[in-house]
Amino acid sequence: MFVLVIGLFSIGYAVTDVPEPNVEAEGQTSTVYWDDGETPLGTFKIEDRRSVPIDEISPAMQQAAIAAEDQSFYENRGISIKGLSRAVWGVVTDNYAGGGSTITQQYVKNFYLTNERSMDRKVREMFIAIKIDQELTKDEILANYLNTIFLGRQSYGIEVAAQNYYGKPASELDVAESALLAAMIQRPGAADPAENPEEYEDRFRYVLENMAELGYITEDEAVSTELPELSEAKKDNQFRGQNGYLLDNVRKELVNAGITPEMLDRGGLQIHTTYNQEDVEAAIEAVEDLPELKEGMHVGLMSIDPKTGGIKAMYGGEDYLERQQNQATEDITQAGSTFKPFTLVAGFENGFRLTDHFAGNSGTTMMYDGTPWRPKNYGGANYGSVSLLRATESSINTAYAQLNIEVGPEKTKDVAIRAGLGEDTSGLEANAANVLGTASPTVGRMTTAYATFAANGIHRAPHSVAKVENPDGEVVHEADTEGERVFDENVMAETSYALSRVVTSGSGSYAQNLGRPAAGKTGTSQDNYSAWFAGYTPNLATSVAIYREDESGNPMEIGSYGGRGSITGGSFPVQAWTQYMSDALEGEDIEKFPKRGELPDVEKPQNDSGVPNQAPPARPNPNPDRPRGNDDEQPRQERPREEEDEAPIEEQPEEPREEEPAPEPPPEEPAPSRLPAPEPDRPNPPPDPEQPPAPNPPPPPAPEENDLTG
């Protein structure tokens, strides 16, 4: 009978193949890092598991595992004689009870089989263990075993357990720490040792005694070693607060790039993001420093490195666990006058110049497709004939409406798409009103477009992942940072100059507090649904939008906010933008915008706007012997009052006053590298007692526009 059983075992061994690893055991946690490549931001996992080689597991931990589970590990052939005898006897008596598994057998069960308690599974386990012992070295088997065991606190594998219980890698575990983890192998879910250490006291002593018996430690060490101190179990959800928006954006980006969710959750990937931890904290602080938001109000912020396309920071919402809709990448809101630069670029590409003049009076009748249209300026302000530079500084709707009709709204739309706004942007149409911001992009897409301006015409796809490595260190995904030139360099230099005048002389003048060359555009939508500031320096592009929605997600009037009659792009959005940019660029080199060059020499399109070509307004020549140049080639003596706008902390509502326009500044005037002193005849408004005064406050900005009126 015994010979027959042995024969059956021999046949069973011969016909038993080593199976493929089970999915659960093979899966490893993928780790997401901040842009330093070292600090973890979060993980993707089904269970928390990270495998390490044997040389990254301390000798004490290796010895403790052997002492606890298989003292003959280095001598046996994958199974123990006692275990084999019990298995044979179980076959004979049909009464197998299990137990007595070697480390190799436990590894086989964890990695290849299941936890099913049956004689059939145990016999297969033994056959496979013998074969594994012949195929792998003892060090490989021990490492694989320690990488597959479960040790509580959602810890799969010794590396995760070392971090979760002691806050250190497995390579640094000492004797006491190792002995306690080894004591938990048989009953990992019995209790958390930090809360109930007595559950493991006896087993802990058993492991130490065996370590002494095997010569790993002395008898004195076995007696004197006490239970180690443990870190508290982590109870914070990694998706809480801003982290959830960052991690969710990473996951969606990689899935779109072709990496499967299963690979993200089980592939042990090392995911290196472009997120800068300090910049993200600066974004959070800039938003939290705004006055308390009214019900339904939201803030979105995104910041992109224009030289790479990498997303440095975003503000997606107060808490991902409370609202999963990302306010930077998924919410949409009307762009307002942040859209005007697309028409400006289209104008430069089609023969227009900053010295060209347009109709600046509110309600000017224009013709588009045979239909009269009377766009209005904010507050019904009249400016007379204004240069394109002046219209940009003061965000004059009528002038830009005329330019858009003359250039062609389809060209404005094309510029927006080339810059990065996206063809599927909600409301993006080729009609006369598109210049006033009827489209509703995400904050992220608007930031991408302005990053293209900052990159002097090179569009780079925005991305939050720089590269992804598999467990072997092989790069399996890498972002394309080369980009594509979509605009002429001189057109971009002229655009940056014009938008820098919005900061130095126009509606975004609060941004002068940044103390370095900056360009940007304010925007306020129809019915005060949203307010924007989108801007950039040569090394960072950022957009901030404040908007309001009802319970159904429909646009809703913001109304009075923060002690002001109404919110505009030149108020709190530019204030948050400036605060964030000041922190994010601290210590960075101050870069200047490219010098202006020759624009494309093309013939302007025919004026089909129904508005006569505008000439510069007549004014006395103070020096009859000196020929008069173009309107914006004369030095500005004093800015007219209708260009003034309240600073972000002013309480009175904005009311432009009609006066004759003043001379335009010279095109060559550079953006100041530091904040100018207030002009003596234009005192700064008193500060709002609820808002801290800005450092060295700028002159009041020009009146913000209500873009979609008319």
Report d(CA 627, CA 303) in Å as an integer: 47
**582 included as an active-site residue:** no
Strands (E) across 305-433 are located at 311-315, 357-361, 366-368, 371-373, 382-387
Q: Is 224 a catalytic residue?
A: no
- Active-site pick, 337, 395, 440, 543: 337
Q: Which helix (H) or strand (E) holds 542?
A: strand 540-548
CA distances from 133 to 16, 136, 185 (A): 14, 6, 21
Provide the β-strand partners of residue 272.
33, 467
Helix (H) or strand (E) holding 181: helix 175-183
Q: What is the 3-state secondary structure (H, E, C) of 573-585?
A: HHHHHHHHHHHHC
Give the other-Cβ count within 10 Å of 462's Cβ: 23
706 vs 334, 337, 353, 530, 635, CA distance in Å?
12, 9, 25, 10, 29
DSSP characters over 453-518:
HHTTTEE---BSEEEEE-TTS-EEEE---S-EE-S-HHHHHHHHHHHHHHHHHSTTGGGGGG-S--
The total of other beta-carbon atoms located within 10 Å of residue 418's CB is 17
Q: Annotated catalytic residue: which of 30, 51, 69, 349?
A: 69
Helix (H) / strand (E) element for 412: namely: helix 409-419
Phi/psi at 96 (5° precision): -80, 130
- At 253, is the secondary structure helix, strand, or coil? helix
Dihedral sign for Cα atoms in the order 74, 79, 84, 87: positive
H helix intervals, 36-170: 59-69, 81-93, 103-111, 119-135, 138-148, 158-166
Catalytic residue ranges: 69, 337
